[in-house]
Structure 1
Amino acid sequence: MYFLNKDLVFPPVSAASPEGVVAAGGDLRPDRLLLAYRSGIFPWFEDGSPILWWSPDPRMVLFPEELKIRKSMRQFMRNTTWKVTRNKAFRQVIRECALIKRPGQAGTWITAEMIEAYTHLHEMGYAQSVEVWEEDELIGGLYGIDLGHVFCGESMFARKSNASKLGFVKLVETLRDENYALIDCQVYTEHLASLGAREIDREEFMQILNND
């Protein structure tokens, strides 16, 4: 296990454990977080535990042109009165992502420390949010890190059915129009697979990430 110190450096992702752990320790200061994402690495840990830095192989990604929207969802999108915005309520979105209960998880990896760190990145223009509103109520959303050609998705939440999916679809459509290479979804979920995301080798992911 590689343990980080105050120096701003990560080992190569090829040194990751079979589970995908690259390193442990360090901190969540902005320059370290940005270096991590630009290096194909992201933090994921429980409150009270050391920071763990991950680069899984394979990597779950969505190429924007491969987005799948089911017929029922297209009909819903045509008829809904919900509004989708971007970067209007970042702190509220990340807090909601921390609060939402998820199957098989007793708690959240979005600690108070992470909320402050990513809010700082948002203020710097790197962390982005998508919000879904029913009138003035925030009912869904997501956030992630924008690297300019790759969007690194972190978490999403929904208070009503289809809310997070609507926000995600709208984001992907925007990124497709802006010629983004891919959306990093990190690890496999059936929900993401149903939207067209798929696993690729870490080596292929790194080639795309470094081709900016």
Structure 2
Amino acid sequence: MNAKFYDFPDPLYAPAFAPLASGGDLSEDCLLSAYSAGIFPWFSEDEPILWWSPDPRAVLDPREVRVQKSIKPYLKRYEIKFDADFRGFINLCKSVREREKQGTWISEQIAEAYSRLADAGIAHSVEAYEDGELAGGLYGLIFGRVFCGESMLSLKSNASKVALIRLCEVLAKFHFLIDCQIMNDHLKFMGAKEMAREEFLALFADLSAQDSGFERFADLKIPRGV
């Protein structure tokens, strides 16, 4: 069966910080049509599906990730695993935010859609463990040499920061870019920068068309210790 192509508006002409479209669905075809154009979904459970391509875009060069002195002790504390339990991790993100009443866009529909992308080898998790228990991490999607970050979680101090640092250490050698989507203080602390949307879309088109440089994300060697 041929993939269905979803025709999204040109993100170059999208509002700077407002959705460029609404509707569609969370099928693999729709999500891949969006991401391939530099567009991602972001909406609350009481809203229709909203699609975004903000200007500027938050990005992180893995070679420039900041490892603050205060974070270094935690690099030894957590064991990082790639794709060990994607479904468990995304559902944990969902349940923690629901329990803490933080408001979350990770609905049951979202968790299932991205879990299907994980089954297809597109979505990936970076999980931090302490004494065998999940302490936090992050998940995202890989297109060529771009890691599109989606959500981060820390159940224990700095677990998500350690996950991001280890991800950067691994991806730096493959000349990746991490798409952080929208800047916040946490990302800025880690070294993320803002890039004009036009520049981002051109760079994304180039990098996403390249080979990642590895066979399986789960098999990549993850550093241990400082």
Flag whether TM exceeds 0.5 (same fold). Answer: yes
Partner of 1:149: 145
1:19 deviation in Å?
Answer: 2.1
Partner of 2:194: 199
Identify which of 39, 57, 68 aligns with 2:37: 39
1:106 deviation in Å?
Answer: 4.3
Preserved CA contact (<8 Å) 1:129 1:144: yes
Q: Which moved more, 1:121-130 or 1:93-102?
A: 93-102
Identify which of 172, 193, 210 aligns with 2:205: 210
The letter for the 2-side match of 1:208 is L
Q: Which runs of 5 or more structure 2 residues have no equivalent in the other structure? A: 210-226
Q: Which runs of 5 or more structure 1 residues have no equivalent in the other structure? A: 1-5
1:8 deviation in Å?
Answer: 1.6
1:7 deviation in Å?
Answer: 6.2
Q: What is the distance in 2 between the residues matched to 1:128 and 1:139? A: 17
Q: What is the distance in 2 between the residues matched to 1:206 and 1:17? A: 15
Preserved CA contact (<8 Å) 1:99 1:108: no
4+ residue segments displaced more than 3 Å: none
Partner of 2:215: none
Q: What is the distance in 2 between the residues matched to 1:166 and 1:158? A: 10
Identify which of 137, 161, 168 aligns with 1:165: 161
User: Percent identity between the aligned chains?
Assistant: 46
Identify which of 112, 119, 131 aligns with 2:115: 119
State whether structure 2 residue 117 is matched by structure 1 residue 89. Answer: no
Matches within 5 A, 1:40-55: 40-55=38-53
Partner of 2:28: 30
Q: Deviations over 1:2-39 (max 9, x none)?
A: xxxx9621110023124231110000000110111111
Q: Deviations over 1:137-179 (max 9, x none)?
A: 1011110011121100000101100111111110111111222
Partner of 2:63: 65
Partner of 1:3: none
Partner of 1:134: 130
TM-score normalised by the chain length of structure 2: 0.85
Query: What number of residue pairs does the alignment pair up?
Result: 203
State whether structure 2 residue 188 is matched by structure 1 residue 190. Answer: no
1:109 deviation in Å?
Answer: 0.4
Preserved CA contact (<8 Å) 2:5 2:33: no
Q: What is the distance in 2 between the residues matched to 1:170 and 1:194? A: 16
SS of equivalent to 1:143: strand
SS of equivalent to 2:153: strand
1:74 deviation in Å?
Answer: 2.4
Supply the RMSD in Å over aligned alpha carbons: 1.8
Partner of 2:96: 100
Preserved CA contact (<8 Å) 1:142 1:154: yes
Q: What is the distance in 2 between the residues matched to 1:176 and 1:208? A: 16
